[in-house]
Amino acid sequence: MNKSMIRNTGLLAAAIVCFLISLLLAHFSFYNLAENRIVRKFQVTLQDKERHTYSLFDEMEEVIAPVDKDRGSDPGLYFTLLHPQMKEKTEGMGIDLFIVESDTLRFWTGNTVSVETLLSNESEMDRLVFAGNSWLLKRERKMGDSRLIGLILIKHEYQYENRFLRNDFQADFHVPAGTRILRGGEHTGRTIYDSWQQEAFTLDFSQIPPYSPFQSYLSLFLFFTGILLFLLYVRHLIKSIQDPFWKNTGIVMGAIIMILLNAIMLKMAIPDQIGDLEIFNPVLFAASNLFPTLADLLITSFFLFFLAYIFYAEFTLPDISSRTFLLVLQGIFFIALVFYFQLTILLFRSLVVHSSISFETYRVLDITVFTFVGLLILAFHFTSLTLLMDKFFSLFKPDLSSYRLLFFVIAFGLLAWVTGFMQPGGPDLLLAFLITVVTGVVAVIRGSRHVQFRYSTFVLLIFLYSILSVYQIGIYADEKRHNEKMVLAVDLSAEHDPVAELLLNDLEMDIATDQELGYMIHEGYTDQMVIDDYLRGNYFSGFWDRYDMHFTLCTPDDSLYIEPYYDVWYPCYEFFDDLHRENRIRIPGSRFYFVDNMNGRISYFASFEFFSADSTATASLFLELDSRLVTEELGYPELLLSDRLRKGFFHKDYTYAKYNNGQLITQSGDFSYSMRQDPYTNGSGEFEYTVYDGYEHLAYHLDELNTVVVSNPQVSLLSTVITFTYIFVFFYLILSVNLLLVNIPFLRRSFQLNIKNKIQFTIIGILFLSLLLIGGGTILFSIRQYRERHFDSLGEKIQSVYIEVMHKLQFETDLTAGWQAGGYSSLDELLQKFSNVFFSDINLYAPNGDLLATSRAEIFEKRLTGTMIHPAAYYELAILNAAEFTHEEQIGELRFLSAYVPFRNDWNELLAYLNLPYFTRQQALTREISNLVVAVVNFYVLLITISILIAVFISNQITHPLRMIESKFGKIRFGRSNEKIQYEARDEIGALVRAYNDMVDELADSAEKLARSERESAWREMAKQIAHEIKNPLTPMKLSVQHLQRSSGEAPATQKQNLKQITQTLIEQIDHLSAIATEFSNFAQMPRTNNEEVDLKDKIVKISKLFQSTEDIEIQTNFSNTVPAIVLADREQLLRVFINLVKNAIQAIPEDRNGKIGITLETTENSAIVKIIDNGRGIPVELGDKLFQPNFTTKSSGMGMGLAIVKNIIEHAGGNIRYDTVPGEGTTFIVDLPLYKTL
> Same domain for 460 and 322?
yes
How would residue 535 be classed by pLDDT, with cut points 50, 70 and 90?
Answer: confident
Domain range for residue 1013? Answer: 988-1080
How would residue 843 be classed by pLDDT, with cut points 50, 70 and 90?
Answer: very high
> Average of pLDDT values for 1214-1233?
88
Which of residues 67 and 577 earns the better pLDDT score? 577
DSSP 876: I
How would residue 107 be classed by pLDDT, with cut points 50, 70 and 90?
Answer: very high
CA 1225 to chain centre: 64
> Same domain for 579 and 690?
no
For the chain, give the percent of residues with pLDDT over 70. 79
Is residue 208 a contact partner of residue 179, using CB atoms and an 8 Å limit?
A: yes
Predicted local confidence at residue 1029, as pLDDT: 62
Please indicate, yes or no, if residue 587 is contained in any of the structural domains.
yes
Predicted local confidence at residue 1199, as pLDDT: 38
Is residue 739 a contact partner of residue 748, using CB atoms and an 8 Å limit?
A: no
Please indicate, yes or no, if residue 597 is contained in any of the structural domains.
yes
Q: Looking at the 3D structure of the chain, how many domains does it have?
A: 7
Structural domain ending residue among the three candidates 649, 668, 691: 649
How would residue 453 be classed by pLDDT, with cut points 50, 70 and 90?
Answer: low
pLDDT at residue 688 is higher than 80: yes
> Average of pLDDT values for 722-741?
80
d(CA 603, CA 547): 9
Please indicate, yes or no, if residue 35 is contained in any of the structural domains.
yes
Which of residues 1193 and 534 earns the better pLDDT score? 534
**Residue 255, Cβ density class (10 Å: 0-12 exposed, 13-18 middle, ≥19 buried):** middle
Q: What angle do CA 647, 649, 653 make, to 5 degrees?
A: 105
- Which are the contacts of 117, defined by CB distance < 8 A and separation ≥ 6? 129, 131, 132, 136, 151
Please indicate, yes or no, if residue 132 is contained in any of the structural domains.
yes
Is residue 804 a contact partner of residue 834, using CB atoms and an 8 Å limit?
A: yes
Among the listed ranges 301-305, 815-819, 1107-1111, which one has the minimum average pLDDT value?
Answer: 1107-1111
User: How many beta carbons lie within 10 A of that of residue 475, not counting itself?
Assistant: 17
Please indicate, yes or no, if residue 768 is contained in any of the structural domains.
no
pLDDT at residue 1097 is higher than 70: yes
How would residue 1100 be classed by pLDDT, with cut points 50, 70 and 90?
Answer: confident
> Same domain for 614 and 636?
yes
How would residue 313 be classed by pLDDT, with cut points 50, 70 and 90?
Answer: confident
User: What Cα–Cα distance (Å) separates residue 511 from each residue in 592, 606, 610, 622?
Assistant: 12, 11, 10, 12
pLDDT at residue 561 is higher than 80: no
Predicted local confidence at residue 1231, as pLDDT: 92
Query: Of the ranges 508-512, 929-933, 987-991, which is most confident?
Result: 508-512
Predicted local confidence at residue 1197, as pLDDT: 42
pLDDT at residue 243 is higher than 90: no
Q: Which residues of 180-218 are buried (b: 16+ CB within 10 A; e: fewer)?
A: bbbeeeeeebbebebbeeeebbbbbbeebbebbeebbeb
**Own/partner pairs for 220-224, CB < 8 Å, 24+ apart?**
220/22, 220/274, 220/277, 220/279, 222/18, 222/19, 222/21, 222/22, 222/25, 223/18, 223/19, 223/22, 223/274, 224/299
> Same domain for 156 and 128?
yes
> Same domain for 632 and 658?
no
d(CA 416, CA 435): 8
Predicted local confidence at residue 745, as pLDDT: 44
**How do residues 264-288 score in pLDDT, each as one tens digit?**
777 776 666 677 788 888 888 888 7
Among the listed ranges 340-349, 522-531, 840-849, 1078-1087, which one has the minimum average pLDDT value?
Answer: 1078-1087
Nearest CA-CA partner of 187 in 172, 199, 195, 198 = 199
The domain that holds 1032 is classified in CATH as: 1.10.287.130
User: What Cα–Cα distance (Å) separates residue 664 from each residue in 202, 493, 601, 657, 668?
Assistant: 59, 14, 11, 7, 11
The domain that holds 1200 is classified in CATH as: 3.30.565.10
> Average of pLDDT values for 896-919?
90
The domain that holds 693 is classified in CATH as: 3.40.1840
User: What Cα–Cα distance (Å) separates residue 71 from each residue in 81, 99, 345, 930?
Assistant: 12, 16, 81, 50
**How do residues 1059-1085 score in pLDDT, each as one tens digit?**
777 777 677 667 767 766 666 665 555
**Residue 124, Cβ density class (10 Å: 0-12 exposed, 13-18 middle, ≥19 buried):** exposed
d(CA 129, CA 120): 10
> Same domain for 1035 and 1098?
no
pLDDT at residue 662 is higher than 80: yes
Predicted local confidence at residue 123, as pLDDT: 42
For the chain, give the percent of residues with pLDDT over 90. 15
Backbone angles phi, psi at 1108, to 5 degrees: -65, -30
**How do residues 377-397 score in pLDDT, each as one tens digit?**
999 999 999 999 988 888 876
How would residue 790 be classed by pLDDT, with cut points 50, 70 and 90?
Answer: confident
- Specify the amino acid at residue 1170: V
Structural domain ending residue among the three candidates 1043, 1063, 1080: 1080
The residue ranges of DSSP E strands in 676-795, in sequence order, are 687-692, 695-701, 706-713
The domain that holds 41 is classified in CATH as: 3.30.450
Predicted local confidence at residue 846, as pLDDT: 93
pLDDT at residue 134 is higher than 70: yes
Structural domain ending residue among the three candidates 204, 225, 245: 204
Among the listed ranges 9-13, 278-282, 788-792, 1160-1164, which one has the minimum average pLDDT value?
Answer: 788-792
> Same domain for 129 and 63?
yes
Is residue 855 a contact partner of residue 842, using CB atoms and an 8 Å limit?
A: yes
> Same domain for 342 and 486?
yes
* Helix (DSSP H) and strand (DSSP E) numbers for the chain: 31, 32
Mean pLDDT of the chain: 80
pLDDT at residue 555 is higher than 60: yes
d(CA 684, CA 404): 52
> Average of pLDDT values for 1207-1236?
87
The residue ranges of DSSP E strands in 75-169, in sequence order, are 95-101, 104-108, 127-130, 134-143, 146-156
Please indicate, yes or no, if residue 357 is contained in any of the structural domains.
yes
> Same domain for 478 and 547?
no
pLDDT at residue 105 is higher than 60: yes
pLDDT at residue 1090 is higher than 90: no
Predicted local confidence at residue 198, as pLDDT: 83
How would residue 1110 be classed by pLDDT, with cut points 50, 70 and 90?
Answer: confident
Predicted local confidence at residue 125, as pLDDT: 46
> Same domain for 1107 and 1190?
yes
Please indicate, yes or no, if residue 167 is contained in any of the structural domains.
yes
How would residue 76 be classed by pLDDT, with cut points 50, 70 and 90?
Answer: confident
> Average of pLDDT values for 68-73?
54
User: What Cα–Cα distance (Å) separates residue 826 from each residue in 35, 829, 836?
Assistant: 53, 5, 16
Predicted local confidence at residue 978, as pLDDT: 66
Among the listed ranges 8-12, 49-53, 1064-1068, which one has the minimum average pLDDT value?
Answer: 1064-1068
User: How many beta carbons lie within 10 A of that of residue 1137, not counting itself?
Assistant: 29
> Same domain for 488 and 519?
no
Predicted local confidence at residue 68, as pLDDT: 56
Is residue 355 a contact partner of residue 361, using CB atoms and an 8 Å limit?
A: no
Predicted local confidence at residue 95, as pLDDT: 93
**How do residues 1144-1155 score in pLDDT, each as one tens digit?**
888 888 888 888
**How do residues 148-201 score in pLDDT, each as one tens digit?**
999 999 999 988 888 888 889 998 998 888 888 887 655 567 888 888 888 888
- Which are the contacts of 421, defined by CB distance < 8 A and separation ≥ 6? 427
Which of residues 448 and 1201 earns the better pLDDT score? 448
Strand order in 1155-1163's β-sheet? 1113-1119, 1155-1163, 1167-1174, 1226-1234, 1216-1222
> Same domain for 702 and 582?
no
Please indicate, yes or no, if residue 975 is contained in any of the structural domains.
no
